[in-house]
Amino acid sequence: MTTGFLTTHVLDTGRGAPAAGLAISLYRLEGDKRIFLCDMETNNDGRTNSPILAKGDFAAGRYMLVFQAGAYLERHYDNLPEPKFLDEVPIIFGMADAASHYHVPLLLSPYGYSTYRGS
């Protein structure tokens, strides 16, 4: 039975605040193909209003989240260089257990980011 789901949480470590209004796209990776699944945007808490990949749509496999960091950073930071150091932030990851909750948070600043498998 497939009961897993995918979530994220984006924190702006430079501002010490959730990253609200950040656009995110999700793709499933199959070989060299990138299959678009959905677009979402973070809310005032830096999370999406619903799972990015819900229980009914969840499948084990390789995925890529693309965070539109550049557009977000432009709205919140003055004097960013052009071109920006960070623009799109792609995170490629695997989900092996179709019954698990996968949480892929992003810690973001104008000059760096990190991620991990959260809970």
Contact 77, 14 (CB under 8 A): yes
The two three-digit tokens of residue 36, written as one number: 């678009």
Q: What mean pLDDT is predicted for residues 82-104? A: 95
Q: For residue range 34-73, list pLDDT tens digits in order.
A: 999 999 999 999 999 999 998 878 889 999 999 999 999 9
Give CA separation, 105 vs 10, 43, 82, 86, in Å: 6, 14, 27, 17
Rounded CA gap, 72 and 63, in Å? Answer: 22
Helices of type H across the chain: 69-76
Q: Where are the chain's structural domains?
A: 7-115
Q: What mean pLDDT is predicted for residues 75-87? A: 95
DSSP state at residue 66: E
In this prediction, residue 1 has a pLDDT band, given cuts at 50, 70 and 90, of: very low
Q: For residue range 8-33, list pLDDT tens digits in order.
A: 999 999 999 999 999 999 999 999 99
- CATH number of the 7-115 domain: 2.60.40.180
In total, the chain counts a number of residues equal to 119
In this prediction, residue 2 has a pLDDT band, given cuts at 50, 70 and 90, of: low
